[in-house]
Amino acid sequence: MGLTSLNFFLFLAASLVVYFQLPEKYQWRWLLAVSCFFYVYCSRTLSVFIAVTCVSTYVLSILIERSEIRYKDELKRIKAGELTLDKKAAKAQNIRRKRACIWAAALINVGMLVVLKFWDLIFSDINTRFFGGAENFVPLLHIGLPLGISFYTFQAVGYLVDIYRKQAEPEHNFFKAALFITFFPQIVQGPISRFSQLAPEIYGGHRFDFKNLTDGFYLMLWGMFKKMVIADRAGIMVDYVFYDYQNFSGWQFWVAAFAYAFQMYGDFSGGIDIVRGAAKMFGIEMVDNFERPYFSKDIPEFWRRWHMTLGTWFRDYLFYPMSLSSTAQKVSKSLRKKGHLHLAKMLPAHVSCIVLWLANGAWHGAGTQYIVFGLYHGILTVLSEEYHGKLVQLGDKLHINQKCASWSFFQMARTFFLVAVGRIIYITPDFGASLVILKSMFTAKNVGIFFNEGLYKLGLERPDFYVLVFACLVLLVVEIFQERMKIREWLYEQNLYFRWGLAFGLIFTVLIFGVYGHGYDAAGFIYMQY
Amino acid sequence: MREEIMEILTELRPDVEFENEKKLIDDGILDSFDIVSLVGELNDAFDVSINVQDLLPENFNCVDAMVELIENLQEEE
């Protein structure tokens, strides 16, 4: 049941109708029921994996809480002289117990994710290279990936770490905890919500509110425009050019890389808009995952605005623990003593950043190209952090007005260029092919494609090409306005006829210009199987 | 203590007016790299151990919040 399929809309409508008929205290149970139905309908037997995540997360959250209660009790008994243990030892034991729970969670849940995602990919490659056939030595699993496995795994692990850090209270009701993990709009492709933000939204009751319904509807419609009119149309060109890359060269790759940037953004952020819109119809607010990332002026800013919930997840649960670990702090201290003050200050963050990006690369897939992609962004982020100040100083020395619009535009274009090039690294299944494409791009000579109808030979006929360019311009204009104002709030201030005219216009645009595949269903979302 | 924190902050980010800023984290003025450097410096200067669980916006949004965090940690230790 894809997020843009008719089945999904019927399912959503039925879920909403029943939801608002129920007393508020029972509404969360209904959400759990429809979430379970949605998951089992989409994943069938693979649903067993999310069930394991729900059970293990619940049990471990309670164990962490019990450890904390035991520690507090020990402190009381130490104070009363009933226990001979000293406070530091009790504290250390508590940390050890709680850490064991986190490791168990990582082993079970991240273990499932890693095995399901990488086992077949890695061993079919090893079998083929060294044993003459994909199935010749290490047996493959052929299980497939459960829907949204990395999103719900990250969310579950984050929940446990928050309890460990006392930043969230564990949910004592197993079914409520299960709802947090399985909540159906977010299960497909995130966002990766925090318990403290999402729990009150999904557990609390909501009364029917027409504004929420229309707000959610507008958001879903806009998401469908981005997905079906832009991303799926751009995807045709991207597939056509990059899967048959031997037949193309130079500027043709640049045009396709540009299309790929819009495909990725339209697909992922469009999907998130649909998810948030669906949740909004229930009255449930979900965190946003994109903040117009192509307006970013440097790479770190881009990653703060693109897939924000994954970025903050990596930051809070990987980057900070690594860079503030006792080992990192010891190294930093020792460097400081030796007089390497700058290195002492930056080294823990830089090393953690590279590791984080390698993990991010691996999350995108198994293969050299994903590791290189991770390293590319890791190095760019480190360089940007290290030299940002110096570049600003250099600009001042050269008397460049760094506050004018043209300079901002230059910075945005530079970031867009770096991101687009980075994506070429993993666009083909073989890293060697990506290098061939990159070489061709940087030695491009065939500028004639812009003047001799060459643009219409990249998989899209002239009318489709125009629709794509026009739709991208619409997206750009809307996003420029979004930088300055809340468009949906502004819409509510407008005349009713204008609002409905716009909504119907968007509906017809999606219906007429949307790209449909088999059975009039849109193409699957790129991040659906992550 | 406050002056020393101000000195560390100013050295870390000379472009920021720390006296007037009340939302250093919420407004994204200090990024994660700044935070890691800052924590290292504060740990060293005040002989405390700021942990990951202390990295809440309310502890780093302004200079006074940082002073309070360090005082609390010193009391605990």
Q: CB neighbours (10 Å) of residue A317?
A: 20
Distance (Å, rounded) from C-alpha A427 to C-alpha A406? 31
pTM, two decimals, is: 0.90
B46, pLDDT greater than 60: yes
Q: Which residue of chain B has the CA closest to A353?
A: B33
CB-based contact A49:A116 (threshold 8 Å): yes
Residue linked to tokens 């999103």 = A151
Distance (Å, rounded) from C-alpha A510 to C-alpha A507? 5
Where does A193-304 show beta strands of DSSP type E?
A: none
CB contacts, 8 Å: A316 with chain B? 52, 55
Residue linked to tokens 């520690």 = A71
Query: Using a CB cutoff of 8 Å and minimum separation of 24, what contacts does A360-363 make?
Result: A360/A310, A360/A314, A363/A150, A363/A310, A363/A530
CA distance B30 to chain A (A): 12
Amino acid at A455: L
Check CB contact under 8 Å for A345 and B40.
Answer: yes
Task: Count Cβ neighbours within 10 Å for each residue of B56-75 and write b for 16 or more, e otherwise.
Answer: eeebbbbbebbbebbeebee
Where does A140-277 show beta strands of DSSP type E?
A: none
Q: Following DSSP, what letter does each residue of A398-460 receive, concatenated?
A: TT--TTSHHHHHHHHHHHHHHHHHHHHHHHSSSHHHHHHHHHHHHT---GGGGTSSGGGGSSS
How many separate helices (H) and strands (E) can be counted in chain B? 4, 0
* Domain boundaries, position B67: 2-76
Check CB contact under 8 Å for B36 and A385.
Answer: no
Burial degree of B33 (CB within 10 A; 0-12, 13-18, 19+) = buried
A276: enclosing H helix or E strand: helix A250-281
Which portions of chain A are predicted below pLDDT 70?
A: 517-530
Amino acid at A505: G
> Quick one: tokens of A326?
């006792």
B28, pLDDT greater than 90: no
The CA-atom distances, in angstroms, between B76 and each of A224, A292, B60, B70 are: 53, 43, 19, 10
Candidates A323, A335, A341, A355, partner chain B, best to mutate (most B CBs within 10 A): A323
pLDDT of residue A517: 61
Q: How many domains does chain B have?
A: 1
Is this prediction's ipTM beyond 0.95? Answer: no
Q: CB neighbours (10 Å) of residue A90?
A: 19
Q: Which residue of chain A has the CA closest to B38?
A: A345
CB-based contact B66:B42 (threshold 8 Å): yes
Burial degree of A302 (CB within 10 A; 0-12, 13-18, 19+) = buried
Scan residues 20-59 of B and list those with Cβ closer than 8 Å to A. Answer: 28, 31-33, 35-37, 39-41, 43-44, 50-53, 55-56
Q: Which candidate from A324, A346, A389 shows the least CB-CB separation from B39?
A: A324
> Quick one: tokens of A230?
């832009």
CA angle centred on A325, ends A165 and B69, rounded to 5°: 55
Q: Check which CATH number belongs to the domain holding B29 and give it.
A: 1.10.1200.10
Interface of A with B (CB under 8 A): 165-167, 300, 304, 315-316, 319-321, 323-324, 329, 332-333, 336, 344-346, 348-349, 352-353, 385, 389
Question: Any CB–CB contact under 8 A between B77 and chain A?
Answer: no
pLDDT of residue A520: 46
